[in-house]
Amino acid sequence: MIRMVAGFVINTETWITVIGTLAGLCTTFAFVPQLFKIWKQGGRDLSYGMLALYLVGAVLWFVYGVLVHAQAVVITNFATAIVITIATGMKAWTARRDAARAAIVATVGAIKTV
């Protein structure tokens, strides 16, 4: 079936791709608020195992999308892999940041008691 949308002719296959891409982007970017939380509060509540499994799943879906030529699957899982990689890096970075802050506070506390 072909429909006219805003002066453009869009066939059913295009609609399916658009809907799949939008759905995938919604589920991918639903994780973005977690990045802000990691930045502010650290990533203690996220396990590396969960992040690794999530990343492996996204990469496998990406490969599947490439093999079956599913553009929506390829685009959204590529974006997911990037978001999860960023989250993993931020988790590691904030852990080091928090440890450095704790060490400084401990050192300052020890100096004040002397």
Domains, the chain, in order of start with CATH, read: 2-113 (1.20.1280.290)
Q: What is the pTM of this model?
A: 0.74
Integer Cα distance of 80 and 54 in angstroms? 9
Using the predicted structure, report yes or no on whether residue 112 has a pLDDT greater than 90: no
**The residue type at 76:** T
pLDDT per residue over 29-82, tens digit each? 888 898 899 888 888 888 999 999 999 999 999 999 999 999 889 989 999 999
Handedness of CA 43, 47, 49, 51 (dihedral sign): negative
Rounded to the nearest angstrom, the gap between the alpha carbon of residue 41 and the centroid of all alpha carbons in its chain is: 17
